[in-house]
Amino acid sequence: MRAAPVPDLAVASAAAAPPPGRRALLRLASALALLPLLRPAAALARPGAARDRFFTTSDGVRLHYLEAGPIAAHTTGIHAAGAHTIVLIPGWTMPAWIWDRQIAVFARRYRVIAFDPRGQGTSQAPAFGYTAARRGQDIAELIARLGPAPVLLVGWSLGVLDVLSYVRAHGDARLAGLVLVDNSVGENPPPVWHPSHGPALPYREALARFVRGMFHTRQPAAWLNRLTRACLRTPEPAARALRAYPVPRQDWRAAVLSVRAPVLYLVRPWLAGQAENLRRDRPGTEIALFPHAGHALFIDDPARFDALLAGFARRRVWPAPRTLQAAAGR
């Protein structure tokens, strides 16, 4: 939430006004005195720029994440008390910074964490650990670092399966809410895949085509090249392992049905049937379709994506106390 503008503090009478230089100082002092009354508590300091953070997993791998949000004291880097946390998990081979727009938007109000899973982005790329179970464990160890409060966990593409793997192993006690973006969750009907014909492309070419195929809207060539280079940091054996999780479809479905926290499912029309069935089988699930977006729908249609996520967070995940809601409605 942006801070309310500081009102212009006009002097009562030009004849009684102090000299121009002193008048300007008095106006500045008065405006500064009003700031605590005009801004919400979480916005007493401007959102800090995203900072690089690292931690070492229980199997010895150094992983990276970005952290941004309301900062209580820039000198110490301590986050403002009460700032809720959103954790963003990217898709197959993607870097944390693909969420840059969402980081900028949501860091005005929330603490935002964007994760580089192992083998992706700035995280270490070991020769092991590219399984659903290990990736779920990595998310558990990340969340454990963020403090005791439950988080809003957002997974996109392969990140959907990674967060559901986390839920399968660790439950939902640390979840304030769950957002699943454009991947199957094991519901019916199963997705229909269309295998490509002809010889397999070299890894670099196949990945470049995949990156460009994620978008319905035109993206800048320089940005696409940068994204492709970032994705190529994932070694080919790791990339292949990540696309072959040997997990039965019903396990993903059981995981999402077990979540007691609010769930939002955002998909393109190819998963409309699963979305409707998930809402039927898990009452209270919210769904939304993006008919004019590509796989990276939070980039193709960022305004709608951000509005849906923000509304979900305010209404279902961290609703204001009734007394505050009543006061705001007057």
Name the one residue in this structure whose structure tokens are 């994440």. Answer: 65
The CA-CA-CA angle for residues 34, 37, 43, to 5°, reads: 105
The whole-number average pLDDT for the span 157-170 is 98
CB neighbourhood size of 318 (10 A): 16
Name the one residue in this structure whose structure tokens are 């559901």. Answer: 164
pLDDT band at 140 (very low <50, low <70, confident <90, very high): very high
Angstrom distance (rounded) from CA 298 to CA 210: 17
Structure tokens, 92: 């197959």
Whether 271 contacts 182, CB under 8 Å: yes
Per-residue pLDDT tens over the stretch 33-66: 333 333 333 332 344 589 999 999 999 999 999 9
Whole-number pLDDT of residue 330: 40
Whether 175 contacts 259, CB under 8 Å: yes
Per-residue pLDDT tens over the stretch 79-129: 555 689 999 999 999 999 999 999 999 999 999 999 999 999 999 999 999
Name the one residue in this structure whose structure tokens are 């070991």. Answer: 126
Mean model confidence pLDDT for the chain: 85
Using CB atoms within 10 A of its CB, is residue 200 exposed (0-12), middle (13-18) or buried (19+)? exposed
